[in-house]
């Protein structure tokens, strides 16, 4: 596969600070479902329905209210909003035949990450009441990357002196010119947590928010970026050795 040629080009540097890339505030992005739901007027969702676009916006606003300042500085980011799907204590199950169907009380869980303190906060929003009814905070828990984080990671990668050049060159080979921005790349991020087998320079990822970033070029080819780890907390790139 041509991918192997690219590996040689972009792997080989150590951890390098990538200055100039800022984790800017962005609202929680919409998944494919939410993007469509936002344009659909669903006035009264059924208990097991996904969150509507309006519900997601409401949950974002409520969950962000107390973190607005940290979010505007980019230190905290709202990753996404997930429907709260806990069972109601009094609910008796599926709800098809009438009777009580749990999930009738619509809840949304907003995931917020603080890159300064490496803290995950999940705020549960009561959508009917428009208030936060539960908040859990934890260190060392890494929910999956959001789309905005993937983009930030790609910006860090492109800003890297050696690896960024490798990506641009590989892109130009198939597209006829370099990418205008990180959003030209196909991106897919997975959380990276160092293990005994995969530690090395990335040991700080035991506490930092780090991801592996897969990069797809026009035409569908994937770069081998599996040894590259993007540290969103430190705004650095680490290269694994294995």
Q: Among 75, 162, 168, 188, which residue sits at the site for other proteins (rule: CB under 8 A)?
A: 188
Q: Which two tokens stand for residue 209?
A: 């928010």
Least distance to other proteins, CB of residue 20, Å:
26
CA dihedral (28, 31, 33, 35) positive or negative? positive
Q: Among 69, 97, 177, 219, which residue sits at the site for other proteins (rule: CB under 8 A)?
A: 97
8 A C-beta contact, residue 167 and residue 185: yes
Task: Note whether 224 binds other proteins by CB under 8 A.
Answer: yes
- Span from 12-20, 25-33, 66-74, 151-159 in contact with other proteins (CB under 8 A): 25-33
Question: Which string of DSSP letters, residue by residue, matches 47-79?
Answer: TTSPPPHHHHHHHHHHHHGGGHHHHHTTSEEEE
8 A C-beta contact, residue 113 and residue 119: yes
Tell me whether residue 17 or residue 95 sits nearer to other proteins (CB atom).
Answer: 95
Tell me whether residue 1 or residue 176 sits nearer to other proteins (CB atom).
Answer: 1
How far lies 197's CA from each of 12, 214, 224, in Å? Answer: 19, 20, 18
Q: Among 18, 67, 78, 82, which residue sits at the site for other proteins (rule: CB under 8 A)?
A: 82
CA dihedral (227, 171, 158, 147) positive or negative? negative
Q: Which residues make up the interface to other proteins (CB under 8 A)?
A: 1, 3-4, 31-33, 36, 42, 44-50, 80-83, 85-87, 90-101, 103-105, 111, 120-122, 136-138, 141-147, 188-191, 193, 195-198, 212, 214, 222, 224, 226-227, 240, 242
């Amino acid at each position: 596969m041509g991918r192997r040629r690219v590996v040689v080009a972009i792997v080989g540097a150590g951890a390098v600070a990538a200055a100039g890339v800022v984790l800017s505030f962005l609202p929680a992005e919409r998944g494919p479902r939410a993007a469509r739901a936002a344009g659909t007027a669903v006035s009264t969702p059924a208990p097991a329905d996904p969150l509507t676009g309006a519900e997601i916006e409401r949950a974002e606003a409520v969950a962000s209210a107390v973190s607005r300042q940290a979010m505007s500085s980019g230190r905290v980011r709202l990753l996404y909003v997930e429907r709260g799907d806990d069972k109601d204590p009094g609910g008796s199950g599926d709800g098809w035949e009438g009777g009580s169907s749990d999930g009738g009380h619509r809840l949304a869980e907003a995931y917020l990450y603080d890159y300064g303190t490496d803290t995950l906060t999940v705020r549960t929003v009561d959508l009917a009441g428009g208030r936060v009814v539960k908040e859990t905070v934890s260190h060392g828990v890494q929910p999956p990357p959001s789309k905005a984080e993937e983009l930030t990671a790609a910006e860090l990668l492109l800003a890297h002196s050696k690896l960024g050049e490798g990506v641009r060159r590989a892109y130009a080979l198939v597209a006829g010119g370099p990418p205008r921005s990180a959003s030209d790349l196909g991106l897919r991020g997975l959380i990276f947590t160092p293990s005994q087998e995969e530690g090395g320079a990335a040991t700080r990822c035991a506490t930092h928010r780090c991801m592996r970033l897969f990069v797809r070029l026009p035409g569908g080819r994937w770069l081998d970026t599996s040894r590259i780890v993007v540290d969103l907390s430190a705004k650095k790139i680490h290269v694994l050795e294995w």
